[in-house]
Amino acid sequence: MPTNTTDILLDSLPFIQHFRNKIMVIKYGGAAQINPDLKESFAKDVSLLHLLGIKIIIVHGGGKDINLMLEKLQITSEFVNGVRITSKEAMPVVEMVLSGKINKELSNFLNTHGSKAVGINGKDGKIFKAISQDGSFTGNITEVHPQLLDLLLQGGFIPVVAPIAYGDNNPLGYNINADYVACEIAKAVNASKVIFLTDTKGVLDDQGNLITSINQTKFTELKEKNIITGGMIPKLQSCLDCTKHGVEKAHIIDGRIKHSILLELFTSGGIGTEIC
C-alpha cells in the first residue's frame, strides 16, 4: 500500500475515475455505528464519496439497541444462524428502534456533516416486500421496487434505509436481516459494489489471519469446518449472492478503522476481504 502522500493520491485516481456515477450500497453497523469518532469518520467518508460523484445508499442495522429495548420490556428474543427470530410482540419494538431512533439519528448526523440524507424503510414507497420466515415476523424479501431509491439518488440524496419490509395482510411489517437488505437493494439498483462494515478485519482463517479474497467454494469449506460461524454466515451469503446477480464485487471491511471505506476503495492493496 502506498505511504507517500503523492503516491496515495496517484494510486487513488484510477479508482475515483472508475467509480464516478456508480452506485454503492454500504451496510453500516458495529462499532462504526456506536463509537463517536468512528461515526464522524464514516460521515466524512460518505460526504467525500458523494462529492466524487459516487451514488450512495446506506442500509443500517441496530441489533444492540434492539436487544437493550427488548430486555427493558422483558420481551425474549432468539437467534438462528445469526438472524433474529422476531415475535409479534417484538415487532413494534424493533420498528420503533430501527426506524424511529437509529434511522433518524443517522440521517441527521450525516446531514450535519455535509450530506443530503433521507431516512426511510422498506414500507416507504413499497421499496421491499417480504413473507414470513417460519411463521415469525422475521421476513424473507420477495420483491424489491427501487423507484423511490432511484428518485432520491437522481435528486442528489443519500437514502438511509432501515431493514423493515412491508407484507400483504400484515400491517406490522417484517424485520429483515440488514445484510440481506443491503444485498437485495444492491441487486435491484445495479450497484457496482456492496460494502459491509464489521467489527473484524474481514473474514478470518482458523489462525485469525485475514483472508483477502473468498469465493463460494472457499466459503462452503470454511463453514463446514466451523471457521465461519454466527453473523458472518448471512454476510457472506449475501455477498456471494450479490456477485452472482450483477454486483461487480462485495467487500467485508473493518469498521473499527477510521476511513476504512476509503482505504478499501481507493488503494490498490485494500484492507478487508473481497468476495468474488
CATH label of the domain that carries residue 61? 3.40.1160.10
| Rounded distance between C-alpha atoms, residue 197 and residue 164, angstroms | 20
Residue 2 in this model has a pLDDT that exceeds 70: no
Q: List residues forming the annotated binding site for substrate.
A: 62-63, 84, 175
| Main-chain dihedrals φ then ψ at residue 192, nearest 5 degrees | -75, -40
Q: For residue 233, what pLDDT is reported?
A: 86
State whether residue 215 is helix, strand or coil. coil
What is the Cα–Cα distance from 19 to 65, expressed in whole angstroms?
34
Extract the C-alpha cell encoding 247.
454486483
pLDDT class for 200, splitting at 50, 70, 90? confident
25 versus 260: which is more confidently predicted? 25
Residue 46 pLDDT: 93
At 61, give phi and psi (nearest 5°). -105, -155
- Alpha-carbon distance 214 to 151, whole Å? 34
Question: Residue 162 pLDDT > 70, yes or no?
Answer: yes
Strands lying side by side in the sheet with 128-132: 139-144, 128-132, 164-167, 170-175
The per-residue pLDDT for 1 is 53
Q: Give the pLDDT score at 5.
A: 63
- How far is residue 42 CA from its own chain's centroid? 13
pLDDT at 271: 86
Calculate the CA 117 to chain-centre distance.
16
Number of domain units in the chain: 1
Mean pLDDT of the chain: 90
Indicate the burial class of 259 (C-beta count within 10 angstroms; 0-12, 13-18, 19 or more): middle
d(CA 174, CA 171): 9
Query: Does 146 fall in a domain?
Result: yes
Q: 11-20, 85-94, 219-228, 259-268: which range is least confident on average?
A: 11-20
7 in a structural domain: no
Q: List the binding residues.
A: 62-63, 84, 175
Residues 6+ positions from 149 with CB-CB distance below 8 Å: 57, 127, 159, 161, 185, 188, 189
103: pLDDT strictly greater than 60: yes
Q: Kindly report, residue by residue over 67-96, the tens digit of the pLDDT.
A: 999 999 999 888 887 678 999 999 999 999
3-state secondary structure of 85: strand
pLDDT at residue 249 greater than cutoff 80: yes
Residue 1 lies in a domain: no
Note the pLDDT tens digit of each residue in 24-40: 999 998 777 878 888 88
Q: How many helices (H) and strands (E) does the chain have?
A: 10, 16
- Split at pLDDT 50, 70, 90, the class of 214 is very high
- Over residues 154-180, the mean pLDDT reads 95
Question: Is 14 a residue whose pLDDT tops 80?
Answer: no
Q: Does residue 59 surpass a pLDDT of 60? A: yes
- Is residue 114 assigned to a domain? yes
Answer whether residue 9 is part of any domain. no
Distance of alpha carbon 42 from alpha carbon 260, whole angstroms:
8
| CA pseudo-torsion sign 245, 246, 248, 251 | negative
Tell me, yes or no, whether 70 lies in a domain: yes
User: Could you tell me the residue range of the domain that residue 243 belongs to?
Assistant: 14-275
* pLDDT for 180 beyond 60: yes
Q: How large a percentage of the chain has pLDDT more than 70? A: 96
Residue 18 predicted with pLDDT over 80: no
